[in-house]
Amino acid sequence: MDNIYLIMLIALAILAIADLVVGVSNDAVNFLNSAIGSKAVSFKTIMIVASVGIAFGALSSSGMMEVARKGIFVPEKFYFDEIMIIFMAVMLTDILLLDFFNTLGLPTSTTVSIVFELLGAAFCMTFIKLSGNSDTFMHLGEYINSDKAIEIITGILLSVVIAFTVGALVQFFTRLLLTFNFDKRPTWNSAIFSGISTAAITYFIIIKGLKSADFVQGAFLDWANANVLAFIAISFVVWFLISYLLIKAFKLNVYVMIIVLGTFALAMAFAGNDLVNFIGVPMAAYNSYEIWQASGEAASSFTMESLAEKVPTQPLLLLSAGIVMILTLFFSKKARRVVKTSVDLSRQDEGQERFKANALSRALVRGAMNLNKGFTAVLPQGAKNYIEHKFTKPKITTRVAAIDMPAFDLVRAAVNLMIASVLISAATSLKLPLSTTYVTFMVAMGTSLADRAWGSESAVYRVAGVLNVIGGWFMTAISAFTAAAVMAFILYKGGSIALFLLFAAAIAILVRNYMNHKKRSEAEAEEGRLMRAVSNSIQGIINESTTNIASAFKRGSKVYVGTIEGLAKVDLGKLKKSKKGIAKLNAEVEELRNSLYYFIKNLDETHVQASRFYIDVLGYLQDVTQSIDFVTISSYNHLNNNHKGLKFTQLKDLKEIEEKLDKLFSRIEDTFKAKNFDDLLSILEEKQNLLDSVSQKIEKQVERTRTADSSPKNTMLYFSILQETEDLIKATMNLLEHYYIEHKKHM
């Protein structure tokens, strides 16, 4: 039986590696979003800087390991076998929960998950123990370190408010000082900002970030910790002078320097503060196993009071964990998806919004607007004019710049990194497992609000997105607590059989999610996303749009064929897949239409005709996708409502139409890929034959309806598909004709 604990230890080691992978995929948003969103440096440079930061942070995280061993529960009240059940339940829950959020692309807190998992598993084991001894529920506080748990939870919740508020205030005053035309401000302005930002980040790196690292010791640290204000003041003066000289002598962009340094600091903060979330529990389990093995006592009678003692750090193990984190950072596609969510919610420009508005987001935006009106009513006109002048955004002068512009500028990125570093450093120094995800995300949202990134066109969607993310955080806590408690109960009752089954199930779920995500990513890459036009001439747009048209008809054909096959086989799953495919294509076309404002806005007067051509192209393309959408939705609803499938004669006729359309769409795809627009004429000549074919099918069904028994629902669906297919053919031919005519005009 003793071998079961060695097996559990091996399982925990495997789970620790997997947890590092899924954890970094989620937490990469903490230190990558500002650098990626601002496009300060290349993506490769960002990754290298972040990797070095992670390596340093991993070596300085030893002080945080105490939380996993004694921060949540009182170890002397539990036996070794109970401690191992708690640790196993926590790791099984953690890896599945984080992978779930990664798949959704939502940033959540690894700190909150580990804290509530420890709470849930410890609560479960405590209740089991209380039910078997003379203690009552009034003794619960003797088993659970409730004061520390409440302190941690309160600190995490308070950090959300503080991060948002501080981020908004600092960004507001920074923008007043630097404006959006910060590159044209006097040198001393940039030097002051650089001095303050770099001093704050340096203070964190040298004093707080490396404070607990064994390789950084000496009189300098002792003096700096004893004279904090003096150190910060000297650091500010030094960095102000260095920044001033770099700007004057070398024309260096100090904002880029701040972002690079801040990315390093935040990556180090992440590894130093959050590494405990991934390997703290397995390391505590390993320490427990060593202590129990040396005791020679039975696992069910050996109490774990020695777990509360401080244990020596293991730099090699910490560095190994850091290497796993770095490799994950480079290769995880889920990490980039989570980062995209944060960047999209904080971007400066308008565009397609990922989240839909809801009643709460509308109410909050409406309340904020009323509050703003009340505030501006009492503000002197001179002050209002001054603020408006400082917040005036520069006009984009070129079309390419408008399309390729970063999500936000260098100033906001620098503020994000500076504020997040300062707040996280304070928590790290106090040994509090602060949620770096919550802090960095809420700082980014606060600076977005202050920077007027949430305008009237986007506010309700951005606020809805923030509420979705925050709602996910609460779901993290509830799910972590409940799932860990259930896992602990199953492990306690099921023993070794439950251990093997749960471990196998966890690995199977991870592998399945990975394979599904890989397949989905490959499918998306193969089909290609519709891209906005950049050219400002008709000929340029004709050439640029070919990829979009080819992709749209390839995907449209796949959906239409899948829909008819789903009807024929009465396969609701296939129809559901087609429904998702056309919904995605429709959303991309709608996104292109939403970008028309920026397209037209940035055209010069000599190319205004290009806008009309582009508008018409998108209009016809939308007609095509909406017709396919109608056919798919009607078919899906028909089967989903459990109506009878279509008759053989109906399906035979639809199959003939489907094959003709599939060939048509394939020819269109090939033509646009090769840009052989002269071939469009031969395709256009098929228009009448196709329409006649559909018309004949309609007439046949009219005759069948009059002379034979038929279902009203089937007949209505069949007519709807044929009529919408007729509209689909017309819209397709209108699009091709439009291209052919314009091509001939501009040959």
395: how many CB neighbours lie within 10 A of its CB? Answer: 8
- Contact in structure between 487 and 122 (CB atoms under 8 Å): no
Phi first, then psi, for residue 73 (nearest 5°) are: -120, 165
How many residues are recorded in the chain? Answer: 747
- The pTM of this model reads 0.74
DSSP 388-421: HHHTPPPPP-SHHHHHH--SS-HHHHHHHHHHHH
CA–CA separation, 188 vs 245, rounded Å?
10
pLDDT at 559: 92
Burial class (CB in 10 A: 0-12, 13-18, 19+), 296: exposed
All residue ranges of the chain with pLDDT < 50 are 1, 215, 398-403
Measured CA to CA, the distance from residue 503 to residue 490 in angstroms comes to 12
Q: Which fold has domain 533-745?
A: Methane Monooxygenase Hydroxylase; Chain G, domain 1 (1.20.58)
CB atoms within 10 A of CB 6: 11
Whether the CB-CB separation of 76 and 336 falls below 8 Å is answered with no
| Per-residue pLDDT tens over the stretch 716-738 | 888 899 999 999 999 999 988 88
User: How far are the Cα atoms of 399, 609, 743 from residue 539, in angstroms, in the given order?
Assistant: 16, 11, 7
What is the tally of helices (H) and strands (E) in the chain? Answer: 29, 0
CA pair distance 466, 483, nearest whole angstrom: 25
Burial of 132 (0-12, 13-18, 19+ CB in 10 A): exposed
Bin 396: left if φ > 0, else alpha if -120 < ψ < 50, else beta: beta
Cβ(410)–Cβ(40) under 8 Å? yes
What pLDDT, in 10s, does the model give residues 127-156? 888 887 776 677 777 788 777 677 777 777
46: helix, strand or coil: helix
Residue 191 and residue 240 in contact, taking contact as beta carbons nearer than 8 Å: yes
Q: 3-state SS of 618-656?
A: HHHHHHHHHHHHHHHHHHHHHHHCCCCCCCHHHHHHHHH
pLDDT for 403: 47
Domain extent listing, the chain: 1-397+411-510, 533-745
